[in-house]
Structure 1
């Protein structure tokens, strides 16, 4: 097992870790909270959300956005933990977001009720600056999950297809040149992040690990854990610390979620 340090414990259901300005941010779905933590493990609740705060990212102007999953909204988290509606997403099973340098907000819709619902293909929508509502820019994805931007490329984990899929991003948020970034057969890629060399780390719940994969599919590194890994982010002073949100999926272990940290 990899050398993992428990940074934060007692999390109901942690997701969407993000490193920014020397601190780690993440969502706790089960508690309805957005949390900020330091490298010493000291954590602070940044905002209370009356819903499932599924995923977070920042606009280029510094505003923090979160997906309010059950209400079908994007919300803004302001100073002092204030919460206000940023945009209505509409009907869908909204999941992860990623923001590009133009301020385009990509948000994926998994397409069916999870867990327990009958599978249907999902889609990616984009909310462009000044738009009142998102528009669909890609469809036919097998459980679109973790999402990240690498330059002018959008990378999406398709959990039910065992692959990462890439698109070229146009300035208006349109997606083109759909292609396989990496096939990861036997894995169910969930949350992802991109490293300085352009490789992708993906979390894998059923295999209880995070995997670093190069474009084309070569596995470069594996970090094993003792429970399902839901998402991951790189950060720390030199961006060489991998933060992992993990929990015992399907075992009914309330408040057994953790954030692990490990050097990579």
Structure 2
């Protein structure tokens, strides 16, 4: 399914995460520099979209195209307006005391926002927030061990999160109720010892690409929870599907997740490779 040709599109980053394809660009956060960036893969232009003092992680887009940003340290969900101003969309301090991580916005503008929950050893747990389009916050799932990645299926009825620090590490699925609440929590896939699922990307067949920095690979899980593809990529933390035909798999990597080291080394990259199943909408 996958060709092994890998192109390096960007290097010299600190810790790129939160990759999303939108409007012909790859959007991602360089977490430790506090920047949200947009890359034009065709022309190579890399532009700073926002600077976030609380450090940006997960990204998502409302149906009208406005950008949502998870500000990790202050537990705020920010909204970038069309004029470039950045406002508070929601305060999640009432749902979680942990650093915010990934987020995913569904077709009606509800944002599901996860938390790291891994400040302690063994890993502590954190809740999952759902933020309505008007900024109303709900606590929709509890006791998740580090929601490193979140995706919603093509039918809009299934939400899947990566429980990165669970033992064993796993993808956990929920059924999305009409009001946006989550029910029927179940294990969708479990991984071998050592795998740490972080960023997720879903394709047109509801297969899920999973970044695992601890095992230096990116793998695809089908709708039965079975691994169908595995790519060897050093230190991947986030993935996204996009490009003109939806078949470009973008992978964000960094050799260190320690802020001081990542800022000094600047080993972060954005890579691109081709896959056969496109992203949703293609």
Give the structure-1-normalised TM-score: 0.92
Contact 2:89 2:135 in 1 (8 A): no
Higher strand share: 1
Q: Deviations over 1:87-134 (max 9, x none)?
A: 111133221111112221111123342xx65521222111123354x2
Q: CA deviation at 1:141?
A: 1.7
* Correspondences of 1:74-93 after superposition (within 5 Å): 74-79=77-82, 81-90=84-93, 91-93=97-99
Give unmatched runs, 5+ long, in structure 2: 276-282
CA-CA distance at 1:211 after TM superposition? 0.4
CA distance in 2, matches of 1:182, 1:31: 33
Cα-to-partner distance string for 1:206-245 (whole Å, 9 max, x where unaligned) = 11111001123221111212x2000100001111110000
Runs of 4+ in 1 over 6 A off after TM superposition: none
Q: Which residue of 2 aligns with 1:236?
A: 243
Q: 2:108 aligns with which of 102, 109, 123?
A: 102
Q: Is 1:263 equivalent to 2:266 in the alignment?
A: no
C-alpha RMSD of the superposition: 1.8
How many residue pairs get matched?
260
- Gaps of at least 5 residues in structure 1 are none
1:173 to 170, 175, 180: 180
Once the two structures are overlaid, the 10-residue window that deviates more, 247-256 or 214-223, is 247-256
Find 2:126's aligned residue among 119, 122, 127. Answer: 122
Matches within 5 A, 1:153-168: 153-161=158-166, 162-168=169-175
Counterpart CA distance in 1 for 2:33 and 2:135 is: 31
